Amino acid sequence: MSGEIGLGERLNESQLAKQLDVSRTPIREAIRRLQQEQLLTIDSPDGVTIVEISLDSAIHLYDCRIALEQLAVEGACRYATSAQIQALEQTLVQSEAIFNEQLKADNRSAPEHDHQSLQQLKLNYDFHRLIAESSQNPWLLSLLEQLSNQVKLLRLQILQVPIDVEAIHTEHWQLFHAIENRDTEAATQSIRQHLELSKMRVVQVFAQSKNVVKTSDDLQISCPSCHSQNIKKNGRRQSKQNYLCKECGRQFIETAVR
């Protein structure tokens, strides 16, 4: 998940098949699978687009992560091998090196900055995945993998907003040292604090953006299908305002929400 296709951008089966030099059948199957994983909207008059995660969904996602990753660090404290501990440390060293490089290169180009940010995201994901693998719990690893793409999508969605990377590194190092020392209590406290702070940072990012559309009389409106308020204006139809739900992809007109 690299962010090459923008959020809300329409996906065209024919164009994707031509770009990837395959038939439309595997493209169609891939789209269906991504829809099942709630990464793409269900087909609408505007076609299939990448889902934009709402604030409520982001909070629920982090609540699930907090519960599952506490179990992961407990297992890592008990079962992580020396090689796995070393891999965790190396991931943090690499991430910190990229961060220091970003601080020095103030005159870097936008593409270079985006590439480094994506590298940071990958290393962040690798760190948490390695902890889950170290727990020696395949069921737990499977559940966290199901959440991972949603986490990646959320981070790509808020990538343009500055985040305190230095604070995240500090939290990661605290967690690492607790696992390295086999201190289960400190590790579970550390991961919970880290993810609670991460959730708070995400809430702050949403607070800086305009994610809720309001009617002319300043009342919040909701999708008539899924009741989400994560919607956007989508032109006019029958001389009335048309809206598009970013959660389920449904289009509806202003009269449907009065």
Instruction: With residue 244 as reference, give the H or E element that holds it.
Output: strand 240-245
What's the predicted TM-score (pTM) here? 0.68
Higher pLDDT, 217 or 176: 176
Domain end call among 207, 231, 250: 207
Do 124 and 168 contact (CB within 8 A), yes or no? Answer: yes
Query: What six digits make up the tokens of 198?
Result: 């991460």
Same domain, 200 and 88: yes
210: left (phi over 0), alpha (psi -120 to 50) or beta: beta
Same domain, 154 and 176: yes
Same domain, 60 and 187: yes
For the stretch 26-76, pLDDT in tens is 888 887 777 777 677 776 655 677 777 888 889 999 999 999 999 999 999
Residue 214 has a pLDDT of 42
Give the whole-angstrom CA distance, residue 49 versus residue 40: 6
Q: Which residues contact 13 (CB under 8 A, 6 or more apart)?
A: 24, 27, 28, 31
Give the whole-angstrom CA distance, residue 197 versus residue 15: 41
Q: What is the mean pLDDT of residues 77-101?
A: 95
List the CATH number of the domain containing 186. 1.20.120.530
Structural domain count, the chain: 3
Give the whole-angstrom CA distance, residue 192 versus residue 87: 22
Same domain, 173 and 232: no
Nearest to 120 by CA among 91, 157, 83, 145: 91
Do 150 and 54 contact (CB within 8 A), yes or no? Answer: no
Same domain, 148 and 194: yes
Same domain, 136 and 177: yes
Same domain, 29 and 72: no
Same domain, 63 and 173: yes
Please, which pLDDT band fits residue 241 given cuts at 50, 70 and 90?
low
Same domain, 122 and 223: no
Range of the domain at 244: 211-258
List the CATH number of the domain containing 17. 1.10.10.10
Same domain, 29 and 98: no
For the stretch 159-201, pLDDT in tens is 656 677 888 999 999 999 999 999 999 999 999 999 999 999 8
Please, which pLDDT band fits residue 89 given cuts at 50, 70 and 90?
very high
Residue 52 has a pLDDT of 76
Same domain, 10 and 59: no
Place of tokens 């296709």: 5
